[in-house]
Chains A and B, each alone.
Chain A
Amino acid sequence: MSGIPLVRVPFRKQKKNEKERCLQANNKEFNEKFEYEHNAIKTAKYNFFTFLPLNLFEQFQRVANAYFLFLLLLQLIPQISSLVWYTTVIPLALVLSMTGVKDAIDDMFRHKNDKQVNNRPILVIVNGMVKEEKWLNIRVGDIIKLQNNSFVPADVLLLSSSEPYSLTYIETAELDGETNLKVKQALVVTSNLEDNLEKLSNFKGEVRCDPPNNKLDKFTGVLIHEGETYALDNEKILLRGCTIRNTDWCYGLVIYAGQDTKLMQNSGKTTFKRTSIDHLMNVLVIWIFVFLIGMCSFLTIGHGIWENQKGYFFQIYLPFEEEISSSALCIFLIFWSYVIILNTVVPISLYVSVEIIRLGNSFYINWDRKMFYIPKNTPAQARTTTLNEELGQIQYVFSDKTGTLTQNIMTFYKCSINGRLYGDIYSMTGQKVEITQDTEKVDFSYNNLADPKFSFYDKTLAEAVKKGNPMVHLFFLCLSLCHTVMSEEKVEGELVYQAQSPDEEALVTAARNFGFVFHSRTSETITVMEMGVTKVYDLLAILDFNNVRKRMSVIVKTPEGKVILFCKGADTIIWELLHSSCKPLQDITMEHLDDFAGDGLRTLAVAYRELDEESFQKWIQKHHRASTAVEDREEKLGLIYEEIEKDMMLIGATAIEDKLQDGVPETIVTLMKANIIIWVLTGDKQETAVSIGYSCNMLTDDMDDMFVIDAKESSMVLKQLRSARRVMKPDSFLRTDPVTKLISQSEKKNFILPEEVPNGSYGLIIDGHSLAYALEEDMELELLRTACMCKSVICCRVTPLQKAQMVELVKKYKNMVTLAIGDGANDISMIKAAHIGVGISGQEGMQAVLASDFSFAQFRFLQRLLLVHGRWSYIRMCKFLCYFFYKNFAFTLVHFWYAFFSGFSAETVFDEWFIAFYNLFYTSLPVLALSLFDQDVNDLWSLRFPELYYPGQNNLYFNKKEFVKYLIYAIYTSFVLFFIPFGTTYNSVRSNGKDFSDYQSFTLIIQTSLLVVVTVQVGLETTYWTAVNQFFIWGSLAMYFSIMFLLYSDGLFLLFPQTFQFMGTARNTFILPQVWLIIALTVAICLLPLIVLRFLKMDLLPTQTNKILAKIRECMKNPVPPPARTKLRRTSSRRSAYAFAHQHGFGALITSGKNMKSR
């Protein structure tokens, strides 16, 4: 639904530099002078008329296509045309049209998407009337009306809203991935406009502000209204991509539209990603060009020598052509003739075939039911179809935390009240029982305000509540009072809570379900339904949360008249503030907290203190004084808070589960086994990030050490990084250390940092502040060295930019394939920076998905994407490329050998039709089937043995060495293909006495042998023979023979005697037993060394992969065992801490009463 394309228009005209933006509300003429960008976005490239010229122009910009065009032009020169024109035109036309069709379809989708976004409805004020318009018609200076839950179509200045003080709540999930609500407030002068259409349409405010930029959190400008100037900042701006929440309506003045909006500016340039195999392929194509030129030069020299020694004398039978004056020119022309003949070493169909294979393998991803997420009806999606094989080569995974590893759902999971632990359930025999989906939930039917989505399993707690256990009641009362949640009762009996952090919501919801329902609040009261009885508590003070205090308290006056302080906060902090009499309870609770932490739960301690009226009055006066202080208000308030938050009585502790997505720990373990290094980059705070690190097994207790880099200045960061490295690898500080040497010696920025082995397993936690220093140029290598030696790296509180910088850092110095996975808009930069970006789909925000190359709904699908689809794609692509280069070299190089016997005269050794069809029809389908269906082991096994992923990471199956191997093999093949028929036909006759060595028979024998050899070769590479493979392989052979007989038939010859010269050759040649003997012999000689080498290599030098494959084959003989689930135990003794959102609470807003509707 929220599909806002992020692709920037490539052909956008560059506008003149804007220094300052100046606009007037409701003044079209004035605003039009500046020619600001309209709100329509255009991502499509072509229209109906420009498609053909533009697309062709683009296609010929590709080196390969341009090369073939050049060849075609060469072939039009009769003196050098060694091949007829159709040998090049047929493949080129096919390639161009296939790419063209694909581009056209892609562009049609973009048109559709643009149209959908541009045509969304929006309300605009025109001449004092609210009129419905489409998004694309919005202009800068328009005043628009936004309604609840609607998207903001452009960057607008908030003028007024339905809420008091013109507050407007927005959700910025699409922009920064945060799902909590944010508040924006309009200027007083504009909020007076309210929804008075007359006033609004007469509003003539002038805005002067920054030119369009990509800073999401910065806006400076002024509003000039009726002669007065008002400052504008980010608090008054609603950005495109936000969603209006909890606000019935609001009005805004459009400031930036279309491409100028911060969202579009932020989307950055969509760089065209290419895989490492693409790069390698380009290098190889250059090698091949060089090889081609070398060969042609060699043959040209050969021709020169031949002309000199033989050709000159042979002129009586073949005089030089009249137009060609000198033999030098003749020799020069031969060079080009050979360029034409040997052009097939750079196969034109290579690029198209590669695209087809990738497309096919992308479809498998879209079709995979095991990556379909049923609850969200979301299939996996390969959004970029050109990166598949790189999925099989990933070495670094950069993951976001919230929404990616976790569900971003907090659930109240356990608690400890007055020394008793609730939440575990036990069987009859007293054994602890694992909670599963089938476990019976506590029945909350006694409470008609209960939230049906809440579930809890331990019945004893509900019983304790029903029995009226005072401490339990106190515990839940505390939870229902001590928070800054806002409630809304839209329908009678249906409460909706709006919380700043999901933790708070979880606690309040738990209290609600157990019978302490937080119902509503005003700035002075909190209404709670206690076990069905409505009670109103006077809210005396909110002692709000901040990062230093790590706690929050409320002071309330109960209906009975008691003044009580309720406090919840990080256990370590609360412990200091407890009354000494709590010591025994403290110890028991401590044990429970350790228990919770071991389960990876987020814990809070809960305490209370009864105050006497008198001392409270004294305190509140001090508080009042401090809260009106102008200087150091925060600090002063903090001191005042401390005065009263002491001698508290412990009630208990809560344990909240930051629910991991299903299968996350298992997935991480599997990926780690596949040698994939996972770094978590999160905007969350350190404690949460670390606790998630433990719960998903990235950090374990058996790690030798965990380093925390949290210094606040550059030198300290460096010191911490160095000391970490000193622990992990003391040798690395020696001058003799190879890596240190390399770094000190290399001046250039682009060198590859080698792998370093630490002396144990370590974890690294680094926070955003330190990262800012560490990512600077002088320290980035230090950071990378330390980080790469650690088993797990967690970066917390990082900005979107830093996420991208981390990815870039690894890309720059490590030469390894990176993958970034995330769900929010704050992950976009990293998703775009990484070689492969993966978006988690199915959530609210779609920005990450739109920027991503692959998307699916659950993190756990990553292992299937990499280990199954990626691995298969990689292997298939490698097999394809090896085979493809092989078959073309074997095909082309036969010409080379023939040159020695044909006076280097650029005579082809094949029928021209064979040359035209070889790549297109005769040999394309079997290898296509191979690269679409082949699987050495099935998906279960490749998940079971993640080690099978290594070869892809180390790029073992297709690299320069493999290429050279196949090149040598192809040279050998072409040698055999030429000299076996040569030796056999030389001086030989047919069994009926007629001569055997005529050119056409010779040609037919060689091309048939070639075709059989390469077809058998593809059969040898195929490990998974589906019916399609069989059909294509046998079909190709059958097709070859039938086309041969067709092309060599009487009918075609009589119609075009010059074009189909080979008439009768097939009939006269295939009847000879020698021909079949030659074919059998060439196949045997070609394949013999390959099979022997492969066999011996498997026996003598088996790779790790060979061994695993052998093991799998052994296992497959027996029935498949159930996939062994990695048993995960969280043995952590780590303690997580208070987990509020890392902002101030709404405390100040609540007590000021600003956000309360007047009643």
Chain B
Amino acid sequence: MERNSNDVRGLLSRMPDNTAFKQQRLPAWRSHLTAWAVLPGFFTTGAFFLGMGILLILSAKSVKEIEITYTSMCSNCAKLRENASNFYKECTCSVPFFIPEKMPGNVYMYYKLHNFYQNLRRYTISRNNRQLLGEDITNVENCAPFQRDSNGIPIAPCGAIANSMFNDTILLSYYPHSSTRINVPLLSSGITWWTDKHIKFQNPRSNNLPSAFTGTTKPPYWRKPVYQLDPENPENNGFLNNDFIVWMRVAALPTFKKLYRRIHRTGPFANGLPAGNYSFDIAYNFPVTVFKGEKGVVLSTVTWSGGSNLFLGIAYLTTGAVMWLAAFSMTAVHLKMKKRNIVSES
């Protein structure tokens, strides 16, 4: 008996295994585009897109935003900056403006640059994260063309990104009456990513920040060394300076805005910015007209979906509408063809 079964096994020794995998009989769910799957799917997703579009548009519309481009308004300062020899000359410029409606809640202040290419290949790689980590302050690898000054002293922070840091100072003043002027309190904290502030950027370990940077020099376009960026708040200096961190997170597109300050909600501004007359007092340091760029300031509130950009809402609304249109026409075609098929079959 046993021998017999052995024989059978020997005779069929090369028989393939009868497994679902080898016989291509794996259990499976078959999918294909049936009317029953496609049409209801289109109607429901279309409805979702339409609804979401309306919601997004409404929320974007609720955002109050004011944008002021000051390059042309401060044309004399702009002219001054075109000449590099005026590097250390101060130039201030005041830009008055009017807020027609109250800006409720949190208000954010941004600076906006046009035509500034933070995304050029050579620009984006011109930095050294190891230096910025404070580990090796003289490591200027990859920082070309701003690695060392003419004396060969390593630059800290090195690289084209750091060197080109936006260095205008903008102050906001509120005029409740034509004669009174209140400086709107601005916060420079909370404008960076937590991960940047706490991991990516570290000052060199030392009790005294200036001594930590000995052996390095400031970037050529900077007026002050990195450890003196914020004279008011000693914590906000070195690589941990908030404005510096914000700048170092390069923008994807040549027109961008970066968060500059938050409005401190105290006193008259506890509920946001009231309507009325305001002015920006700008220390104009950053040359942009050389490369046909423009600078601006933006004040904006936010909602859950971000800022005042309507794009996403409109895109959703359009897509939803197109989906419904498609769904209706597909239904019509399908019903018609079905009828014809039935007729032709009978």
Contacts and interface: CB of A to CB of B under 8 A. Distances in A.
Interface in A309-354: 310-311, 313-314, 316-319, 321-322, 337
B97 interface: no
B306 A996 contact: yes
A1084 B319 contact: yes
Contact of A1058 (B123, B142, B316): B142
B195 A1068 contact: yes
A903 B117 contact: yes
B99 interface: no
8 contacts: A317-B160, A377-B11, A872-B24, A990-B306, A1054-B133, A1068-B195, A1088-B323, A1095-B35
Contacts of B262: 993
B74 interface: no
B311 A984 contact: yes
Given A369-B16, A980-B315, A1084-B319, A317 B22 contact: no
B199 A905 contact: no
Given A314-B291, A994-B259, A1003-B252, A1064 B120 contact: no
A124 B314 CA distance: 92
Contact of A901 (B11, B253, B306, B309): B253
A740 interface: no
Contacts of B133: 1054, 1057
Contacts of A368: 16, 22-24
Contacts of B326: 1088, 1092
B334 A933 contact: no
Contacts of B255: 986-987
Contact of A902 (B17, B117, B192, B319): B117
A313 B142 contact: no
Interface in B105-143: 106, 108, 110, 115-124, 126, 128-130, 132-133, 141-142
B337 interface: yes
A989 B33 contact: no
Q: Please list the 4 inter-chain residue pairs (A to B) with the smallest Cβ-Cβ separation, ordered nearest first.
A: A1064-B195, A1057-B129, A1002-B252, A367-B22
A47 to B, nearest CB: 31
Interface stretch (A28-36, A486-494, A952-960, A1018-1026): A1018-1026
Interface residues of B, number: 98
A993 B302 contact: yes
Contact of B160 (A318, A906, A995): A318
A1026 B133 CA distance: 49
B253 A992 contact: no
B30 interface: yes
Nearest to A989: B307
A364 interface: yes
Most B CB within 10 A of own CB, among A337, A364, A985: A985
B291 to A, nearest CB: 4
Contact of A906 (B13, B121, B193, B196): B121
A1099 B117 contact: no
A1003 B31 CA distance: 33
B38 interface: yes
B167 to A, nearest CB: 12
Most B CB within 10 A of own CB, among A317, A377, A1002: A317
Contacts of A986: 253, 255, 309, 311
A1070 B31 CA distance: 31
Contacts of A1092: 326, 330
Contacts of A988: 306-307, 309, 311
Interface string B10-40: 0111111110001111111111110100100
A791 B191 CA distance: 81
A372 B292 contact: no
B305 A321 contact: no
A313 B257 contact: no
B290 A905 contact: no
B58 interface: no
A1100 interface: yes
Nearest to A901: B253
Contacts of B119: 901-903, 905, 907, 999
Given A902-B119, A993-B262, A1095 B38 contact: yes
A1025 B30 CA distance: 6
Contacts of A370: 23
A1095 B330 contact: yes
Contact of A907 (B18, B116, B121, B312): B121
Given A377-B15, A1068-B193, A1084 B256 contact: no
Given A368-B16, A907-B119, A1096-B330, A994 B199 contact: no
Interface string A999-1019: 111110000000000000000
B66 interface: no
A1091 B37 CA distance: 11
B120 A374 contact: no
B290 A933 contact: no
Interface string B41-53: 0000100010010
Most A CB within 10 A of own CB, among B12, B193, B334: B193
Interface in B243-294: 246, 249-259, 262, 287, 290-292
A1074 B315 CA distance: 13
Contacts of B160: 317-318
Contacts of A991: 302-306
A612 interface: no
Contacts of B115: 310
Contacts of A1063: 195, 199-200
Contacts of A995: 110, 246, 249, 251, 256-259
Nearest to B27: A1026
Nearest to B192: A994
Interface in A1057-1111: 1057-1058, 1061, 1063-1064, 1067-1068, 1072-1074, 1077-1078, 1081, 1084-1085, 1088, 1091-1092, 1094-1096, 1098-1100, 1109
